[in-house]
A and B are shown apart, each in its own frame.
Chain A
Amino acid sequence: MLKRLRSGLLAAMLLCVGCAPGGVVVHETAPAALSAWGLMTSDGQQLQLGAGVTPYQLNATLFTDYAHKLRTVSLPPGTQATVMPDGRLDFPLGTVISKTFFYPRVSGALVQVVDAESVLDASLGRNGGLDLTQVQLIETRLLVRRSSGWVGLPYVWNATQTEASLEVTGDIKSLTLVHQETATATDFPYIVPDQNQCAGCHNTDTASRQMNPIGPRLANLNRSLTGKVPDLNQLDYWQQLGILQLDGTVADQPRLVAWQDATQNLNDRARSYLDSNCGHCHSSTGAGDTSGLYLDIGTNNPVRLGECKLPIAAGQGTGGHRFSIVPGDPEHSILVFRMQTRDPGAMMPELGRSLVHAEGVDLISAWIAALPGHCS
């Protein structure tokens, strides 16, 4: 099944090169039905992206209970995103970013896929969309750029996968995930965030109280597109589409490594993972600044990054440990404990997961194990 998902990618990208812009309707008042946006349509068998809707991929992704994500962006016809000094993109008014969460489905069971590359590949979907006989759609979250700023809208898919409806108060779905290799079944509550909780992550600057996109930043978009032949960089592709204005060449742009990529430097992989899973809150401007722990890619002070740092107001989150990171000792590092627990009062991130991301824990543990020094 996954091979089929992968093999469809080429077709997906080629199809969308020819997409005509203008299919997306930007609503000022959120419609109850996702289909009203023109971003995607579904007959229960096939999810198709609308005209002018561009799927995109990220180097470093946020863990959400092993859900796969189909990410799209659509800009009003004739408009472009520009690059801000800090590497974030300034998307024009009327931009709609969507993220559709789904699981591979085999014989009716939702499958936890451990092959890291396939997770990335599958997020692009088939034919610019998804074969719904192979996957189960859970939710689609929208970020809409209005004149008042970005607004987050959570839509939840119905059981027949024909429509998603706006649920501003979110939802809790009882899911069972079957591990692809071990066949172990895990029950968990999948939490669809409420509209306020969108800001829990997307309000990256608490002083401004404005929401921002987190994933589609320059360094995170700077990658080759899976399925493109020959190797086509996504930033080049966006320029071809006319939706990105870039100063300088792609080669000059910053790039986050894919944390899954074992060929990359361990420190770079770990920092990329922490940036995409923690850095939106744990930065000098985010809600997590109350802890004094900054995990964004721009932070370089080791104590700020947690080395031998005392926990602040961590409560249950200490796990009984004294420091955020004890170099060489992941088992006594608060950071690892908070990734390993499923207790809502102790876990990190606070929102967006009910399961433990085993691969993320392994990566951060290996990184801490390799850090030199001690805290005494």
Chain B
Amino acid sequence: MRPLLLLLLIGLLSACAEDDKAPAAMLVTDMQKNLQLQFMNAEPGDIINIPAGLFEMTRSLSLKVDGVTVRGAGMDKTILSFKHQVSGAEGMLVTANDFLIEDLAIEDAKGDALKINEGKNIIIRRVRTEWTNGPATENGAYGIYPVQTENVLIEGVVAIGASDAGIYVGQSRQVIVRNSRAEFNVAGIEIENTLDADVYNNVAINNTGGVLVFNMPNLSQEGRRTRIFNNRIEDNNTPNFALPGGAVAGVPAGSGISINSNDEIEIFDNDLRNNQTAHIVISSVYSTNYSERDTASAFDPYPEKINIHDNRYSGGGDNPDTEYLPQLKAAVFGADGAFPNVIWDGFINTQLAPDGVLPAELQICIYNEASSAVFNVDAPNQFANPRLDELQHQCQHAPLPAIELVFVPAASQSGQGE
């Protein structure tokens, strides 16, 4: 503890020099107040450095000032621990534009770890969010959690143990999630109701579901156009430990990539291994938690224009989760058999499919892979006719454009979006 305490003191003294309004005696014993004061007194362009050390926080930290950088000494060196938090629904709450946070960890938040609610030009880099007791239902919901944001770069982060999603981007626009690692969360990486996202060069391993792209009804926008490529998505077989009720509580353990009610998804060049329900699961909100009243609005519940190509698969599909999938697998593929790489609940907008089959421009298309087969479980007809369809999926959609992010210098510092 001695070296740590010394570091703490050094860090605090340097902070005091900049803020003569705060009495030093108070700050030495209270990093909570010190940090919150710096957050409140910050001005655009300020860099708030947090020294190495393990800092116990008892209440949420919040930042409202645009153009601020929060920088630690490394995701394993600067640790904000909320294990003894008594107040606040998140570890850190940011409602500001041009925000950069890097090189620190947020551990054991009671609710969400890092929430950014409404902001443009957000960079989250080399941040670790973790619940240190491993996967548990009582863990907080989200690790990295930008919502209603625009122009967002998440890179090099590590998210572990979230009882909902490790990295969750909700109701946002223009997003990149890359070079990150999500492990032992219910959902590793989840893109929800978001327009134009690229998810690449990530590792999603040992989650319940590796990478999710969902749309939920009755929100500010419906999402579309997400690319998932060059990711390593494997062994996402951790039993679902989400509290029932939330959208991810219905995700079968062993889901590599899960698409729910979202459109225009391109999945390519990924390495998918040993995801025991299926490498790619495509479904409608009708297969998860829903009510007819909730979806009665203009919401589009059907996943359409899914483009799957050039992925590499091994293992998987051999030990599906949920009540009905094991039976279906055994009945159709045998006790020792396995689902194909892609399974689908089979819900389609019948108004757009006069002969019961969607036209090619709306299809799940699979090309440049060993097979274009999709296992349709026929959920709309209570699994009456589960079947392997191939011909209708031998198609391809035009590739989606790459996301390009542009940051103003104040927020970018280094290594801004490609």
Q: Is the CB of A358 closer than 8 A to any CB of chain B?
A: no
B171-189 contact mask (Cβ, 8 Å, vs A): 1 or 0: 1000000000000000000
Main secondary structure of the interface of A (DSSP, over half): loop
User: Would B245 and A334 count as touching, CB distance under 8 A?
Assistant: yes
Query: Is B40 close to A, CB under 8 A?
Result: yes
Q: B residues within 8 A CB of A347?
A: 89
If the complex has contacts A196-B39, A196-B63, are A172 and B291 also in contact, measured as CB distance less than 8 A? no
Binds B, one of A43-51, A112-120, A227-235, A320-328: A320-328
CB proximity of B400 to chain A, nearest CB, Å: 25
- Given known A-B contacts A199-B64, A290-B170, A290-B171, A318 and B246 have beta carbons under 8 A apart: yes
Q: How far is B289's CA from A309's CA once the two chains are assembled, in angstroms?
A: 10
Q: Residue of B at shortest CB range from A287? A: B117
Interface pair B62/A197, CB less than 8 Å apart: yes
Q: Tell me if B218 counts as interface (CB < 8 A to partner A).
A: yes
**With a CB–CB cut-off of 8 A, which chain A residues contact B64?**
196, 199, 209
- Beta-carbon contacts under 8 Å, A296-325 to B: 302-304, 307-323
Say yes or no: A196 contacts B118, CB within 8 Å. Answer: no
Taking A310-B290, A314-B246 as contacts, is the C-beta distance between A206 and B219 under 8 angstroms? no
Do the beta carbons of B62 and A172 come within 8 Å of each other?
no
* CB-contact partner of B243 in A310, A320, A351, under 8 A: A320
Flag the segment in B105-113, B311-319, B380-388 that touches A: B105-113
Q: Is B138 an interface residue (CB 8 A)?
A: yes
Is A200 positioned at the interface, with any CB of B under 8 Å from its CB? yes
Q: Mark A339-367, 1 if CB is under 8 A from B, else 0.
A: 00001111100110010000000000000
Interface residues on chain B, size class: 35 or more
Q: Which of A70-101 contact B (CB under 8 A)?
A: none
Contact across chains for A313 and B290 when beta carbons are under 8 A apart:
no
CA distance A271 to B39 in the complex (A): 36
Task: Give the residues in chain A near B16, CB-CB below 8 Å.
Answer: none
The residue on B at minimum CB distance from A196 is B62
Q: Assess the A172–B219 pair: CB atoms within 8 A.
A: no
Mark B residues whose CB is within 8 Å of A.
Answer: 32-33, 36-37, 39-40, 58-60, 62-64, 85-89, 93, 95, 109-112, 117-118, 138, 140-142, 145, 147-148, 163-164, 168, 170-171, 192, 216-220, 243-247, 249, 289-294, 296-297
Interface residues of A (CB under 8 A from B): 168-170, 172, 189, 191, 194-197, 199-200, 203, 206-207, 209, 287, 289-290, 292, 302-304, 307-323, 334, 343-347, 350-351, 354, 375-376
What are the 6 closest A-B residue pairs judged by CB atoms, nearest first?
A315-B141, A318-B245, A345-B111, A345-B110, A350-B89, A308-B291
